[in-house]
């Protein structure tokens, strides 16, 4: 049996592998498991390869998850539909030990930096193409990391160069934690988690190259201030680009120029409102709340306006998003099988 049960008092540990399955089942089982976070595709030759292999070794380090994945060349998609389906709101930092990866996202394209790190914001879309690879992924709930970041919304697809000292320190920290993870007890894991989050925050913040002065620096400060204002007033239906322009004494053109990299200010406001609504819909403690009330608290003037915008953004209705989770029994070690798929539930349940 390939499932690994953690020793008493030690951190939860799981090993999922398809390598022992009948060759014709391996790829489909792998794809089904990966659906907890990515929609997976692969060339026919890979899908039908009798030697197809895929393994996930994962560990819960307190409220964090770290894991090593080894598998074949594939395509990993995190679409708006997938985001609505799972509602994950985590950061993921990846280190490739072998192989290569190229990612396409709204802001462009990025290659996995050699000996460096790549940052995913799992609330945003990405289309990744890989070679055969082995990587380490560290997953951190947004609520743990965001307060420590200077630029929390600008982390998606950041490629951090391995030549930067703090990036090298974080890289080696991830390798060490992964190599020692099955030896940590629960108390040690809870002590290690905030240290890891602090190191990640220091690495991200130190890797931002700010302009020391001049107009670009002023604009960056202004953009941050406006984004804070937007976040504080998402429930206000009167929050509009025109109102923000008056509030910050900016012309319509200047305001749009500031938000142009984000798709424009109207789109930014709508995205943040829809994201807030999605998180409420996916929160089991909010299951009693009517969808109309969630729409109102997210700044929409009517439930119908909200439902249309939500469906257009995520490809499903708010009600479907609320009930779209894969049943927990599908993400546990199934009766009569050696597949240990607990890491799927761990990804969804991460919380500080």
Which tens digit of pLDDT belongs to each residue from 108-156? 999 999 999 999 999 999 999 999 999 999 999 998 999 999 888 889 9
Crossing angle for the helix pair 215-232 and 265-282, nearest 10 degrees?
40
175 or 329, which is more confident?
A: 175
169 or 337, which is more confident?
A: 169
Task: Tell how strand 101-105 and strand 133-141 pair up.
Answer: unpaired
Helices (H), the chain: 23-34, 44-47, 80-86, 142-145, 165-180, 186-206, 215-232, 241-248, 252-259, 265-282, 291-297, 303-314, 318-322, 342-349
Q: Which residues, including other chains, have CB under 8 Å from residue 25's CB and lie 6 or more apart? A: 18
Instruction: Please tell me the predicted confidence (pLDDT) of residue 322.
Output: 87
Least Cα distance to 242 among 223, 266, 221, 224 occurs for 266
- Strands across the sheet with 90-98, in order? 13-17, 54-61, 64-71, 133-141, 90-98, 117-121, 159-160
CA angle 180, 184, 186 (to 5 degrees): 155
Q: pLDDT of 238-275, one tens digit each?
A: 999 999 999 999 999 999 998 887 789 999 999 999 98
Mean pLDDT, rounded, for 299-308: 95
SS (H, E, C) 290-345: CHHHHHHHCCCCCHHHHHHHHHHHHCCCHHHHHCCCCCHHHHCCCCCCCCCCHHHH
Q: Report the SS3 class of residue 103.
A: strand
Instruction: Please tell me the predicted confidence (pLDDT) of residue 339.
Output: 85
DSSP 286: G
Instruction: Please tell me the predicted confidence (pLDDT) of residue 328.
Output: 41
Confidence label for 351 from pLDDT (cuts 50, 70 and 90): low
Residue 78 is inside which H or E element, if any?
A: strand 75-78
Least Cα distance to 105 among 90, 120, 88 occurs for 120
Mean pLDDT, rounded, for 164-183: 96
What's the chain's average pLDDT? 88
Instruction: Please tell me the predicted confidence (pLDDT) of residue 10.
Output: 85
Mean pLDDT, rounded, for 198-204: 96
Mean pLDDT, rounded, for 83-105: 93
Confidence label for 221 from pLDDT (cuts 50, 70 and 90): confident
Domains of the chain and CATH, by start: 13-209+327-349 (2.60.120.280), 215-315 (1.10.10.60)
Whole-prediction pTM value?
Answer: 0.79
């Amino acid at each position: 049996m390939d499932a690994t049960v953690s020793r008493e008092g030690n951190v939860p540990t799981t090993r999922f592998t398809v390598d022992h399955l009948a060759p014709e089942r391996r790829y489909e089982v792998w794809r089904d498991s990966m659906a907890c976070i990515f929609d997976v595709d692969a060339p026919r030759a890979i899908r039908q390869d009798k030697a197809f292999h895929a393994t996930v070794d994962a560990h819960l380090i307190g409220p964090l998850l770290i894991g090593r994945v080894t598998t074949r060349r594939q395509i990993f998609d995190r679409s708006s539909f997938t985001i609505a389906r799972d509602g994950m709101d985590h950061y993921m930092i990846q280190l490739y030990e072998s192989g290569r990866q190229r990612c396409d996202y709204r802001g462009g394209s990025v290659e996995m930096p050699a000996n460096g790190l790549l940052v995913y914001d799992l609330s945003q879309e990405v289309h990744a193409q890989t070679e055969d690879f082995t990587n380490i992924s560290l997953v951190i709930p947004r609520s743990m990391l965001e307060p420590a970041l200077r630029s929390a919304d600008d982390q998606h697809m950041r490629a951090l160069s391995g030549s930067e000292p703090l990036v090298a320190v974080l890289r080696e920290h991830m390798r060490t934690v992964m190599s020692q993870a099955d030896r940590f007890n629960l108390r040690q894991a809870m002590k290690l988690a905030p240290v890891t989050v602090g190191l990640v925050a220091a690495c991200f913040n130190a890797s931002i190259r700010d302009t020391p002065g001049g107009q670009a620096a002023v604009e960056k400060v202004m953009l941050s201030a406006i984004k804070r204002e937007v976040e504080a007033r998402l429930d206000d239906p009167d929050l509009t680009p025109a109102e923000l322009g008056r509030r910050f004494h900016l012309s319509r053109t200047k305001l749009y120029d500031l938000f142009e990299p984000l798709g424009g200010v109207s789109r930014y406001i709508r995205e943040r409102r829809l994201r807030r609504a999605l998180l409420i819909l996916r929160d089991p403690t909010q299951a009693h709340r009517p969808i109309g009330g969630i729409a109102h608290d997210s700044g929409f003037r009517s439930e119908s306006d909200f439902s249309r915008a939500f469906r257009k953004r995520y490809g499903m209705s708010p009600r479907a998003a609320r009930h779209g989770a894969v049943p927990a029994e599908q993400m546990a070690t199934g009766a009569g099988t050696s597949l240990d798929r607990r890491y799927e539930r761990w990804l969804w349940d991460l919380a500080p």
